[in-house]
Amino acid sequence: AIVAAVDRYSVLESAGWKGRNGTALHPDNLQGEFFRRVMQRFAHRASARVWELWIDGQLAASRLAIGTPDMLVMLKTTYDEQLARYAPGMLLLRRVIEEEFTAARHRRIEFYTNATPAQHAWATDSRWIRHFEVYRNRLSASVIDGVRLSRAHPRALLGGTAAVAALAAFSALLN
C-alpha cells in the first residue's frame, strides 16, 4: 500500500510546478524510485506514513513522513494546484498534527524544509539544516553539477561566461 501511495503522491507532484521545473517525484524517475524505496523500507518497520486528503474522489494533498518514537519527520508535501484556493496542503497538515498529537506516537514533529512564514506559525522552534553531498569520484560530482547548471540556467549554456567556463572544465574531465 505504501508504494501505491508514494506513486499517487508522485503523480500529483508531477502535475504541478515541480513537474514543470523537472524537480518532481514521478513513478518513472530516479527521485520517485528513491522515495518509493525509502518509504517501503520504513514501512517494513511500521515507521512510514503517507497522509492523503481527498475531495470529491480527487486527491487534493499528500504528505510523506518517516518516524521513530522520538520524532516524526515530514519529508515531502504536495497538493493539487487547481485546488490551491482551498489550501488543501494546510488542511492536511492540520489534520496530521491533530492526529499525531492525539495518538502520541512521537515526542515531536520535524519538517525538513526551508520553512515559509506560514510554516513557522505552526512551529515552537526552528533551526538551519545543512546539506552535504558526497560523490564517489570527481567525475560524478562534475556530471551532477553540469546537469544542475543546465536546469537552473539553460540560457547560460548558450553564452554565459561562468557557464562556458564550467562546461569547459566539465569537458576537460571527460577527456
Express each pLDDT in 129-149 by its tens digit: 777 777 788 887 888 777 777
If one compares 163 and 26, the residue with the highest pLDDT of the two is 26
pLDDT grade for 32, boundaries at 50, 70 and 90: confident
What is d(CA 115, CA 31) in angstroms, rounded to the nearest whole number?
Answer: 21
Whether 72 and 105 have beta carbons less than 8 Å apart is answered as yes
For residue 95, pLDDT over 70 is answered with yes
- Give the whole-number percent of the chain exceeding pLDDT 70: 85
pLDDT grade for 165, boundaries at 50, 70 and 90: low
For residue 156, pLDDT over 70 is answered with no
- Rounded to whole angstroms, the maximal C-alpha distance in the chain is 60
What is d(CA 159, CA 112) in angstroms, rounded to the nearest whole number?
Answer: 36
For 94-107, give the secondary structure using H, E and C: HHHHHHHHHHCCCC
Q: Taking the model in full, what pTM does it have?
A: 0.70
For residue 1, pLDDT over 70 is answered with yes
Q: Cell for 118?
A: 506560514
Q: What is the pLDDT of residues 14-29, one digit of tens each?
A: 999 888 888 888 888 8
Average predicted confidence (pLDDT) for the chain:
82
For residue 155, pLDDT over 80 is answered with no
Q: What is the DSSP letter of 86?
A: G
For residue 175, pLDDT over 60 is answered with no
Q: Are strands 71-79 and 48-55 parallel, antiparallel or unpaired?
A: unpaired
For residue 98, pLDDT over 80 is answered with yes
Q: What is the DSSP letter of 45?
A: T
What is d(CA 121, CA 167) in angstroms, rounded to the nearest whole number?
Answer: 43
For residue 122, pLDDT over 80 is answered with no
What is d(CA 34, CA 20) in angstroms, rounded to the nearest whole number?
Answer: 20
Q: Cell for 41?
A: 523500507
Question: One-letter amino acid identity for 134?
Answer: V
- Give the whole-number percent of the chain exceeding pLDDT 90: 28
